[in-house]
Amino acid sequence: MTAAVTLDSVSCVFGHGAAAVRAVNAVDLTIEAGEFFTLLGPSGSGKTTCLRMIGGFTLPTAGRILIGGDDVTMRAPYARPVNTVFQDYALFPHMNVRDNVAYALMVRGVPRSERERRADELLALVQLAGVGERRPAQLSGGQRQRVALARALISQPQVLLLDEPLGALDLKLREQMQSELKALQRRIGITFLFITHDQHEALSMSDRIGVFNAGRLEQVGTPRAIYDEPRTRFVAQFVGAANVLDGEAARALTGRPGAMLRPERIRLGDAIGARASGPVSEVQYFGAFTRLKVQAAGTLLQADLAHVPAQATPAPGETVHLHWDDRAVHALQDAV
């Protein structure tokens, strides 16, 4: 099967000479047809520039971009089989919802009856049947996001590009939309390329994730592989909480020159058989778990403890004994 999107040694440099900024650096990436693929990374890491190059809004300095096997590197946005959903929705305030959704068909000259029929079908698909006559200002943030999705889907793109589309929503609505987006992608079966800096969005929605850092892809893999088997200390620390150990502390605690240990894999126990012991320096309550910060082996270890009653939670200054299984320790490729 032909890949949905292929980036072949793609780079993008803004500016010239000493002022040049290499936003994307020789990225190779293949996204399969029908995947929900997420580019994850902090602000300025290059993920949005990659999306803009795929969409045709920014041209690469080097390399090729293929969509469905066709080289689209120099094609204009309107000549590519993709569509984009932006964080700010970009809906036309003077048009009703149905006309917003049908706008691309109107531009193509599709008869009104046909484009309204298809717009109503898309609104039903995104659970907005019956709101076609309303204006965008009469809708909630989550409803406007669904309208933007319907508008992007009506032209039947091969790939839907989603540029941090949930960033403007509150936490509860964002979690609801995560579920709805994934369910929608499964129903329609087209490729979704999702951009976010939110690790929880990436882990909960994606078939695969590409982690960006400083213009490079650090790692590509399934959510479980990215979380449990990060290749580098950047991926370990960016995706979830992690104890990243190196030097003498790593050797003392794990027997390796560099390793990662997730806080939730640590438990409290007796002194006998403990992997590390030391005083608690800080206690943080997060509802679902309590995080202890413990001074041990010359470093600060985090331990996340689930369902610990308040009366059983160690206090700052109290010595605790930490235990973990050998399988909880993961070696890092860039250990120092």
Convert the pLDDT of each residue in 26-40 to its tens digit. Answer: 999 999 999 999 999
Token pair in block for residue 133: 């006559």
Question: Looking at residue 168, what is its pLDDT?
Answer: 67
- What rounded mean pLDDT belongs to the chain? 91
Q: Which CATH number describes the domain made up of 241-331?
A: 2.40.50.100
Q: What is the pLDDT of residue 191?
A: 96
What per-residue confidence (pLDDT) applies to 335? 57
pLDDT category of residue 204 using cuts at 50, 70 and 90: very high
Task: Pick the most confident of 85-89, 165-169, 313-317.
Answer: 313-317
Residues 85-143: tens digit of each pLDDT = 887 778 899 999 999 999 999 988 999 999 999 999 999 988 888 889 999 999 988 88
Give me the architecture of the 1-81+192-238 domain, per CATH.
3-Layer(aba) Sandwich (3.40)
Q: Is the pLDDT of residue 336 over 70?
A: no
Residues 259-283, mean pLDDT to the nearest whole number:
95
Q: How far is CA 51 from CA 25, 69, 80, in A?
A: 14, 17, 13
Domain boundaries of the chain, sorted by first residue: 1-81+192-238, 241-331
